[in-house]
Amino acid sequence: MTTEPKMRGPYAAIVCAAGSSSRMGGNVRKPYLTLRGKPILSWTLAALARLPQLEQIVLVTRPDDRAMALECADLADLPARVRVDTADGGARRQDSVFNGLKATRSDAELVLIHDAARPFPQQEALALVCERAAEMGGAILACRVRDTIKRERTGADTVIETTVPRAGLWQAQTPQVFRRALILDCFERIAREAGSVEFTDDASICEHFNHAVALVESSSSNFKVTQPEDLPIAESFLNSGLVS
């Protein structure tokens, strides 16, 4: 049975679709590649919209991709309660997310920050990560690290320096969910700080200011389509009926 979040909304989601897709190659960037004849971004938006409290999605895109992203939103057949807005991508992911945050509605209680090319977040996990974010201020979906992790030695040859104990290690996913007031304050403080520190995800910005962020265990099906070999994997998940 799906767990209902204690906060009743409204929620807003920022969907980051402004990346370069350099690892995918080809002329079509990964949010716009198709699965079963529908763009990955459309699958992603439809999955997020299953949260009944979600009332706004902000698509963060390159200006040249704006029309294509909005077409994906149309193809997602979103509920009437979900308003779609847009924001420009920035030089770094954190700049893109900040632009998206500034476009979220001011009365949103929670903001979900999600990768455009991560089309299969599970509904029960979405509900649970929102509940934990409501309780703690921030929470992310993540998977426990199962494989042995090696750190390479710096130098000309790629060789092992050491084996990293995997106990307590998690692989971060999205959405990463925060109380809007908290995450907006963190991003505003980062923008005012001198220097050019780059953060690889949104939780690390909260960590920078010593805010606790909860880990919510997720499925490996909530993976990000990054490389060409990920497309048949995504198709296989759809064909298996494990995701929808």
pTM recorded for the entire structure: 0.91
Strand-pairing partners, residue 112, are 13, 177
Strand-pairing partners, residue 11, are 54, 110
The DSSP 8-state label assigned to residue 2 in this structure reads P
At 24 the pLDDT is 55
- The amino acid that residue 55 corresponds to is E
At 1 the pLDDT is 45
* Cβ pair 120, 43 in contact under 8 A: yes
103 burial (CB, 10 Å; 0-12 / 13-18 / 19+) is middle
* Cβ pair 176, 201 in contact under 8 A: yes
At 114 the pLDDT is 98
Nearest by Cα to 211 from 182, 231, 240, 233: 182
pLDDT, tens digit, 9 for 90 and up, residues 61-95: 999 999 999 999 999 999 999 999 999 999 999 99
pLDDT, tens digit, 9 for 90 and up, residues 161-176: 999 999 999 999 999 9
Predicted confidence band at 239 (pLDDT cuts at 50, 70, 90)?
A: confident
* Rounded distance between C-alpha atoms, residue 90 and residue 94, angstroms: 8
Cis peptide before 175 (omega within 30 of 0): yes
Query: Does the pLDDT of residue 46 top 80, yes or no?
Result: yes
Query: Does the pLDDT of residue 107 top 80, yes or no?
Result: yes
- Higher pLDDT among residues 86 and 238, named by residue: 86
Domains of the chain: 11-240 (3.90.550.10)
